[in-house]
Amino acid sequence: MTEKMYVQRKIGHATLTLTQGDITKESVDAIVNAANSSLMGGGGVDGAIHRAGGPKILEDCKRIVSKIGSLPTGEAVITTGGNLKACKVIHTVGPIWYGGNQNEPALLENAYRNSLALAKEEGIRTVAFPSISTGAYRFPIEKASDVALSTVIEFLREHPLDEVRFVLFSPKDFETYNKVLNRILPSPE
């Protein structure tokens, strides 16, 4: 039997959760997609979300692109969740890792912060994130998890959504996020 990987911390009135699994199965108000600038779908979590959510998501993406063009790195937009349990998908574009001197950490921080700000603006109370940029975009996961967790914790201290959940695809990614969380927040608040 495999143990359920699940960690929760309170950040003021908000809950921060780490879990392992497939983000397309999450019952939250919105899931975040690690999209690319074209918003036309792709591999990894992007492909999984479009497959599970169906064509309505791409229709919304096309409408957005016809208005604003491609989505710059670090920005976020929102669409329907289509057939997903989550009502909405927030699409953001994380940075490609070029070695760390191309502003990658600040751009990753923007991706998280702009996604959270958009969620708040839309009245969304529960949000699930994948590990943005750590797949095809090759951002080292230990560094990325530090940026991800620090940005979410800082945001929740000022804007208490009900819950922000990180849904890590592999047990190893979950362990990395958990280790970094324990370093950032040594004792439960």
Indicate which residue of 46, 60, 146, 173 is catalytic: 46
Least CB distance to ligand ADP at residue 141 (A): 7
Cβ(78)–Cβ(118) under 8 Å?
yes
Contact status: 34 vs ligand ADP (CB under 6 A): yes
Of the pair 132, 160, the CB lying nearest ligand ADP is at: 132
Q: Which of helix, strand or coil describes residue 93?
A: strand
Choose which of 75, 79, 135, 147 interacts with ligand ADP (CB under 6 A).
Answer: 135
What minimum distance in Å lies between the beta carbon of 48 and ligand ADP? 4
Which member of 7, 136, 140, 162 binds ligand ADP (CB under 6 A)?
136
Asked if residues 184 and 149 have their Cβ atoms less than 8 Å apart, the reply is yes
Least gap, CB of 135 to ligand ADP (angstroms)? 2
* DSSP category for residue 101: -
Nearest Cα to Cα of residue 27 among 90, 86, 91: 86
- The residue ranges of DSSP E strands in the chain, in sequence order, are 6-11, 14-20, 30-35, 76-80, 88-93, 126-129, 163-168
* Alpha-carbon span 21 to 26, nearest angstrom: 9
Which residue in 19, 79, 92, 131 binds ligand ADP (CB under 6 A)? Answer: 131
Tell me, yes or no, if 29 is annotated catalytic: no
Instruction: Candidates 56-64, 67-75, 126-134, 177-185: pick the segment binding ligand ADP (CB under 6 A).
Output: 126-134
Radius of gyration of the chain (CA): 15
75 binds ligand ADP (CB under 6 A): no
Under the binding rule (CB under 6 A), the answer on residue 48 touching ligand ADP is: yes
Which residues form the catalytic set?
Answer: 46
